[in-house]
Structures are given as C-alpha cells and as structure tokens.
C-alpha cells in the first residue's frame, strides 16, 4: 500500500470510521454513537480493542453490536496487544481510517484513564480526524449547535467544509464560525474606557478584516448547503481558550477545530495554547479535523 497517498486524501467524504473499544461503563453508549455515525455517513466501521481477546469480551462485543444495530457485514473487529496510543494510530494508518471515535473524560487529570489521557495523546498525534465524545449516549439525540474555528490558517477552509458536510449528514441546521482575536492592547483599552473612539475603531477594523476573509467561504457553504444556517462570531481571547469558552457558554453540541500544525513538544503542552486549551477541559464533544495537507 502506498501510504504517501494518505497525505493528499481529503478529510471528507468519510468512508471508514474506527472506534476504540474499552469494556468500560460507557461501552454500550460509545458503540451506539459509532453505529449511528456509520449509518449517517454510509461508512464502514472498524472496532479496535487493545488488549487480550477472550470469549467473554467477544460475547460482550457481539451483544453490544446487536443492541446498537451495527451491521456485522459492514463492520470489522481488530484485536491487538501493545501500547494503546501507538497501536490505535497504527491500525488507523493501515486501514486508511477517515474518522476515529474515542470516548474522552471532560477534565484531564494526573490519573491516566484509558478514555481520558490516552484519547488526548491520540488527538495530538493522529493523522486522521478524531471525534472525542465526552458524554456518549445510547439513545439518539439532535445535534443543534455546531461551533467551528475560523482561525486564519490554510487548514481552516478544510475544517469548515468538513463541518458543513458532517452537519448535512447528521441533520444539524445551524453552524457558527468563530474567529478568535487575541489583542491584549484592545482588551486593556476597552477595560479602561469602553467608549474610547480608538477602541471602537480597532474593533471595527478587526471585524471587517475577519468578515471579508471568511465571506467567500460562507457564501460558498450557503450555496452548497442551503438547509444549514451559517453564522459568524468574533471573540476576543487566547486562541483555543476563547472558542472553548464560547462553545461552553452557548451549550454547543459539537466543537470543530483544526488539527495541530505539528507534533507538540512537552514545552508546548506546559505553556498551554491553541488545541491544548480545548483538550485540557473539553467543553462538549470535539471534532479535530485532520486535513492531510
């Protein structure tokens, strides 16, 4: 197989979905979410379990698949031993997975939960899009509010287009593109005098610049997906933190962000920024789009 082809493979349509299965209390809910996503997207499904294969696990998995309505003819089960992070990433590469679904604890702690810090480690390294589910549900639920990053980055157009594609498939009818503007000087000026003319001018200039940058993307998206209402919002604050906080205050169902530009070093995670703010305290379900540029 020529893995170089993966570098130019688009982030959508999503044809192959993988889900990391651990026999935890949320096992059935995670299977149900994966089964529904597979049906929505018309994608094949791969179930990955890192650990020993036993008769009890096999029986539990088969019963879980049946309860979730997963078609066994459209699903493969992969059992492997090894380091959870590297094993899952390798399986995704070998099987050209377009979307990896993981359960994730909302708040990261020093304790290494399989569905906590492992999910975050995979998110930092994955070469495929990753969907982190903070509260997977057995029953179906409507996705109403999707928040998407509008950061000035070559990846963003792919992230927005992937979000629109996904929204159309799952029946969401509202999507907000949020641009974060980190301008401490502006924030200080506003704090000192909210009516200062210079502050209003700076705000106006920033808003106009960001709106003109995203307008062609929004117009094209509205034309392709007329059933989806596309809105735009500009928030002030540190990249990653601001959009995460906005998603939380708006009770968003899904936050969609770019994948990191490169593998993050330890120092990058110590001095929190961008995606690390989101991973540190997940505001809701999070989709990290890997555009394979």
Q: What are 234-275's pLDDT values in tens digits? A: 888 888 999 999 999 999 999 999 998 765 554 444 444 578
Residue 141 lies in a domain: no
Residue 138 lies in a domain: no
Residue 117 lies in a domain: yes
Residues 126 and 250 in one domain: no
Tell me the pairing of strands 146-149 and 129-133.
Answer: unpaired
User: Which structure tokens are listed for 9?
Assistant: 């493979």
What gap in Å lies between CA 264 and CA 83, rounded to an integer?
A: 19
Domain count, the chain: 2
Domain hosting 89: range is 3-133
Provide the pLDDT for residue 30: 94
CB atoms within 10 A of CB 84: 20
Residues 240 and 285 in one domain: yes
Q: What are 281-290's pLDDT values in tens digits? A: 899 999 999 9
Residues 227 and 285 in one domain: yes
Residues 150 and 268 in one domain: yes
Tell me the pairing of strands 129-133 and 285-289.
Answer: antiparallel
Residue 258 lies in a domain: yes
Provide the pLDDT for residue 269: 46
Provide the pLDDT for residue 292: 74
pLDDT, mean over the chain: 84
What gap in Å lies between CA 65 and CA 257, rounded to an integer?
A: 30
Please choose, from the candidates 62, 55, 14, 9, the residue with its C-alpha nearest in 3D space to the C-alpha of residue 38: 14
Residue 212 lies in a domain: yes
Please choose, from the candidates 100, 109, 115, the residue with its C-alpha nearest in 3D space to the C-alpha of residue 26: 115
Residues 163 and 120 in one domain: no
Residues 175 and 69 in one domain: no
Residues 156 and 185 in one domain: yes
Domain termination residue (choose one: 133, 165, 185) = 133
Please choose, from the candidates 164, 13, 169, the residue with its C-alpha nearest in 3D space to the C-alpha of residue 98: 13
Run of H or E residues at 280: helix 275-280
Q: What are 159-195's pLDDT values in tens digits? A: 999 999 999 999 999 999 999 887 665 555 555 555 5
Domain termination residue (choose one: 133, 164, 192) = 133
Q: What are 58-109's pLDDT values in tens digits? A: 999 999 999 999 988 899 999 999 999 999 999 999 999 999 999 876 554 4
Residues 152 and 117 in one domain: no
Residues 282 and 172 in one domain: yes
CB atoms within 10 A of CB 263: 8
Residues 86 and 202 in one domain: no
Domain termination residue (choose one: 133, 165, 181) = 133
* Alpha carbon 222 to chain centroid, angstroms: 22
What is the mean predicted confidence (pLDDT) over 49-57? 94
Provide the pLDDT for residue 20: 93
In this model, does residue 276 exceed pLDDT 60? yes
Residue 227's domain is classified under what CATH number? 3.40.50.620
Residue 265 lies in a domain: yes
Please choose, from the candidates 63, 71, 129, the residue with its C-alpha nearest in 3D space to the C-alpha of residue 96: 129
Residue 139 lies in a domain: no
Residue 250 lies in a domain: yes
User: Which structure tokens are listed for 279?
Assistant: 């991973």
Q: For Cα atoms 239, 241, 246, give the angle at the middle one, nearest 5 degrees.
A: 105
Residues 84 and 157 in one domain: no
């Amino acid at each position: 197989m020529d893995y170089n082809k993966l570098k130019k493979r688009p982030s959508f349509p999503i044809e192959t979905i993988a889900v990391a299965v651990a026999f935890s209390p949320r096992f059935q809910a995670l299977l149900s979410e994966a089964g529904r996503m597979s049906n929505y997207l018309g994608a094949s499904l791969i179930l990955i379990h890192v650990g020993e294969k036993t008769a009890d696990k096999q029986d539990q998995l088969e019963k879980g698949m049946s309860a979730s309505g997963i078609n066994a003819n459209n699903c493969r089960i992969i059992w492997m031993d090894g380091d959870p992070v590297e094993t899952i990433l390798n399986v995704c590469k070998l099987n050209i997975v377009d979307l990896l679904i993981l359960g994730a604890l909302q708040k990261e702690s020093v304790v290494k939960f399989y569905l906590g810090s492992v999910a975050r480690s995979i998110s930092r390294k994955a070469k495929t899009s990753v969907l982190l589910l903070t509260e997977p549900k057995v029953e179906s639920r409507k996705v109403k509010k999707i928040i998407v990053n509008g950061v000035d980055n070559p990846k963003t157009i792919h992230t927005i287009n992937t979000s629109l594609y996904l929204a159309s498939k799952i029946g969401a009818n509202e999507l907000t593109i949020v641009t974060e503007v980190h301008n401490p000087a502006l924030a200080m000026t506003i704090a000192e005098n909210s009516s200062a003319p210079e502050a209003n001018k700076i705000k106006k200039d920033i808003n106009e610049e960001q709106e003109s940058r995203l307008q062609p993307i929004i117009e094209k998206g509205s034309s392709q997906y007329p059933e989806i209402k596309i809105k735009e919002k500009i928030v002030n604050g540190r990249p990653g933190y601001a959009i995460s906080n906005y998603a939380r205050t708006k009770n968003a169902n899904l936050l969609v962000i770019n994948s990191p530009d490169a593998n993050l070093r330890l120092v990058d995670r110590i001095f929190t920024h961008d995606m690390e703010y989101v991973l540190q305290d997940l505001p809701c379900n999070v989709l990290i789009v890997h555009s394979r540029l």
